[in-house]
Amino acid sequence: MYKLLILLYFIVGCAAGSATAAEAQPVSDDPVLEQRVLQLSNELRCLVCQNQTIADSQAELAVDLRNQVRVQLRQGKSEAEILDYMVERYGDFVRYRPPVKMQTLVLWIGPFVLLAGGMFALLRYLRRRRQMPDTDDVSQRRLDEAVQLLGGKEDGR
Amino acid sequence: MARYLVPLGIFLVIVVFLGVGLGLNPRQVPSPLIDRPAPAFDLPQLHATDKRIGPEALRGQVWLLNVWASWCVSCRQEHPVLVDLAKSGVVPIYGLNYKDKRDEALRWLEQWGDPYKLSIMDSKGVTGIDYGVYGVPETYVIDKAGIIRYKQIGPLTPEILRDKILPLVRKLNV
């Protein structure tokens, strides 16, 4: 019951957040800067509402992180530097597009491996079905009977 | 026979993967700060705002940094565990009062007891970001050299204390 309540709390919290937060609220009047803030915010995961970016989420942490992005961009830091800053604190999970490395390899190539496996199985099945003789389930004795009924000619079938 | 065994095998593999996946807690994101130096800060103390403190001042001892706030519901839940731990005197606990109002924080400590050696005021939450805080309460175990050794996300329980934190503190104190 208790766990259910916590779950409910998060669901309601996330839903309420997304209802009001279509876009990051512009705070400064510099549209170019705001555009960059929004772009970078779309790359970062909100760890409170984990399936939202910090651009989408209205959780307090997301607001703080967006401000942090804005402050650092204004200080002249590059996008890559800010991404590094976030990863140093929250880990690779904070990136919506995780980097390709040993730990994330399964994530990146797993679907393609599964796809290749599926294709292979399908092709093998199709090929086997084509090679299957049509008369597989008719015994030679029945065939002979049929030939006799048709007048004894072998090529009459 | 093989034509039944192969799908069964695939099915079992999927069951194992999904089973393990169900058992994991998606809120427990491993922190990249483990085995790294505790990020520096220089913040006012909650009870004496004219005094400031940073992690360097706490070098030479194993200590816990507990992130808490008066608005945090789960903090109430773990609070008795912290009070008991403070009474036992095994390890000093320092509080990081995260994004809180000073008067509300002080009232909260008065009401429920103060297990902290002292609390550090992070009213803007900037130090919280440096520590990768995203789900208050969080607790860090920091060793004598100022290295973070463990991070607990979410409330402490007597079990976590007994099985993870206290053995670690003992090991680090040797």
Sorted by where each starts, the structural domains of chain B and their CATH numbers stand as: 33-173 (3.40.30.10)
Judge if A87 and A125 occupy the same domain: no
Cβ contact, residue pair A47, B135, below 8 Å:
yes
Judge if A108 and A131 occupy the same domain: yes
Asked which of A99, A117, A140 is the last residue of a domain, the reply is: A99
CB-CB contact of A70 with A33 (8 Å): yes
Tell me how far apart the alpha carbons of residues B161 and B174 are, in angstroms, rounded to a whole number: 18
* pLDDT at residue A21 in the model: 44
- What 3-state DSSP class applies to A146? helix
Cβ contact, residue pair B30, A91, below 8 Å:
yes
**CB count in 10 Å sphere of residue B89:** 7
- Asked if omega into A98 is within 30° of 0 (cis), the reply is no
Residue B161 carries which DSSP code? I
Domain of A45, CATH number, reads: 1.10.8.640
The percent of residues above 70 in pLDDT, for chain A, comes to 75
Q: How far is B130 from chain A (nearest CA, A)?
A: 6
Cβ-Cβ contacts under 8 Å, B29 against chain A: 47, 90-91, 93
Judge if A137 and A85 occupy the same domain: no
Residue A25 tokens read as 């609220």
Nearest CA in chain B to A46: B134
Cβ-Cβ contacts under 8 Å, B125 against chain A: 60, 64
Judge if A82 and A122 occupy the same domain: no
Q: What does the longest C-alpha to C-alpha distance in chain B come to?
A: 79
Cβ contact, residue pair B135, A93, below 8 Å:
no
* pLDDT at residue B95 in the model: 96
Q: How far is B66 from chain A (nearest CA, A)?
A: 17
Judge if A109 and A85 occupy the same domain: no
Rounded to two decimals, what is the model's pTM?
0.74
Dihedral of CA atoms A97, A101, A103, A105 in degrees, nearest 10, equals: 80
Residues with Cβ within 8 Å of A14's Cβ and at least 6 positions away in sequence, in order, are A48, A49, A51, A52, A57, A59
* pLDDT at residue A26 in the model: 53
For chain A, positions 47-66, list CB contacts with chain B under 8 A. 47-48, 50, 60-61, 64-65
Residues with Cβ within 8 Å of B136's Cβ and at least 6 positions away in sequence, in order, are B67, B68, B69, B72, B74, B75, B98
Judge if A93 and A142 occupy the same domain: no
* pLDDT at residue B6 in the model: 86
Judge if A117 and A72 occupy the same domain: no
Q: What is the ipTM of this complex?
A: 0.78
pLDDT in tens, chain B (174 residues): 777 888 899 999 999 999 998 888 877 788 889 999 999 999 999 999 999 999 999 999 999 999 999 999 999 999 999 999 999 999 999 999 999 999 999 999 999 999 999 999 999 999 999 999 988 899 999 999 999 999 999 999 999 999 999 999 999 998
The domain of A42 spans 2-99
Judge if A44 and A94 occupy the same domain: yes
Cβ-Cβ contacts under 8 Å, A90 against chain B: 29, 31-32, 132, 134
Residue B173 tokens read as 């104190």
Higher pLDDT: A37 or B29? It is: A37
Judge if A89 and A115 occupy the same domain: no
Judge if A64 and A139 occupy the same domain: no
Judge if A20 and A51 occupy the same domain: yes
Judge if A109 and A146 occupy the same domain: yes
Tell me how far apart the alpha carbons of residues A12 and A6 are, in angstroms, rounded to a whole number: 10
Residues with Cβ within 8 Å of B140's Cβ and at least 6 positions away in sequence, in order, are B38, B64, B65, B66, B67, B131, B148, B150, B151, B152
* pLDDT at residue B68 in the model: 96
